[in-house]
């Protein structure tokens, strides 16, 4: 039994409604008519790049993506995370671990709800942004909405809860993934880089999220203290 049939049967037994697609064209056809709650994306496809399909899915919104990738292929994992994947499992993997990772990703707030103006609900305010984790989004004072992936949302919320404190890469890994060594330190660097690029739309991104060479990162939203009107 190939991995696609194995996962389809296993996830169906877990109570999920499961569909499958083999090509970018098939994925695009599915996304045109429905939005999956989660995508398991095998990077080792016979005719097309899994990374290209990851880009295609991201072009349709923030549907959570869990990559399925070879154990030794660290570069593939990092590239997938940099494209916006939320998590990965390495082959060979335990089906129980996969089920746990799926549950963890699905517990995250949805990222493609209709935009809501920052003034209409509480959020975490800093610089030019209002950060609303429940929407997985940043809203600028000018009305720009910047959608975040689940991993970017988790990272920004973690940094917010440690404003002004130096966070090493290993600390970030342990707090985000609840296990030391869950991902490579390079993956954290790329995750920070992605978040910086999105913060750049509001200006001062380098000052907000500073690199301390050799040690880690410090998040300083401007005053060094949470805004008085921010959510608790």
Domains in the chain, number:
2
Choosing from 106, 139, 174, the residue where a domain stops is 106
Residues 9 and 71 in one domain: yes
Quick one: 168 exposed, middle or buried, by C-beta within 10 A (0-12, 13-18, 19+)?
A: middle
Structural domain contains residue 230: no
Structural domain contains residue 111: no
The DSSP bridge partners found for residue 212 are: 216
DSSP-based three-state secondary structure for 220: coil
Ranges under pLDDT 50 in the chain? 1, 111-121, 205, 223-232
Q: How far apart are CA 76 and CA 80, in angstroms?
A: 6
- Contact assessment for residue 124 and residue 231, using Cβ atoms and an 8 Å cutoff: yes
What is the pLDDT, as a whole number, of residue 216? Answer: 93
CATH number where 52 lies? 3.40.50.2300
Q: How far apart are CA 109 and CA 104, in angstroms?
A: 11
Residues 208 and 144 in one domain: yes
Structural domain contains residue 78: yes
Q: Which domain holds residue 87?
A: 3-106
- Contact assessment for residue 101 and residue 93, using Cβ atoms and an 8 Å cutoff: no
Choosing from 106, 135, 154, the residue where a domain stops is 106
List pLDDT tens digits, range 49-86. Answer: 888 888 888 887 778 888 888 755 566 666 777 777 88
The secondary structure of 115-181 as a DSSP string is P--GGGS--EEETTEEEEGGGTEEEETTS-EEE--HHHHHHHHHHHTTTT-EE-HHHHHHHHHSSTT
Residues 85 and 142 in one domain: no
Structural domain contains residue 227: no
Structure tokens at 110: 């949805």
Residues 88 and 123 in one domain: no
């Amino acid at each position: 039994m190939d991995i696609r049939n194995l996962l389809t049967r296993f996830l169906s037994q877990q109570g999920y409604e499961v569909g499958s697609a083999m090509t970018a064209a098939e994925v695009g056809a599915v996304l045109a008519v429905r939005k999956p709650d989660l995508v398991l994306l095998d990077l080792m496809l016979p005719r097309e790049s899994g990374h290209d399909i990851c880009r295609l899915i991201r072009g349709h919104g923030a549907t959570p993506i869990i990559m399925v990738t070879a154990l030794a292929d660290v570069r593939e994992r990092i590239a997938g995370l940099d494209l916006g994947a939320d998590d990965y499992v390495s082959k060979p993997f335990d089906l129980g671990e996969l089920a746990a990772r799926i549950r963890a990703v699905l517990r995250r707030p949805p990222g493609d709800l209709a935009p809501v103006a920052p003034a209409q609900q509480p959020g975490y305010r800093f610089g030019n942004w209002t950060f609303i984790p429940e929407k997985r989004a940043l809203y600028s004072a000018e009305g720009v909405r910047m959608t975040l992936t689940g991993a970017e949302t988790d990272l920004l919320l973690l940094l917010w809860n440690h404003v002004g404190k130096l966070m090493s890469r290993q600390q970030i890994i342990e707090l985000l993934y609840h296990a030391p060594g869950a991902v490579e330190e390079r993956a954290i660097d790329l995750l920070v880089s992605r978040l910086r690029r999105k913060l750049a739309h509001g200006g001062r991104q380098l000052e907000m999220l500073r690199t301390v060479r050799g040690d880690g990162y410090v998040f300083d939203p401007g005053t060094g203290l949470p805004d008085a009107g921010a959510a608790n």
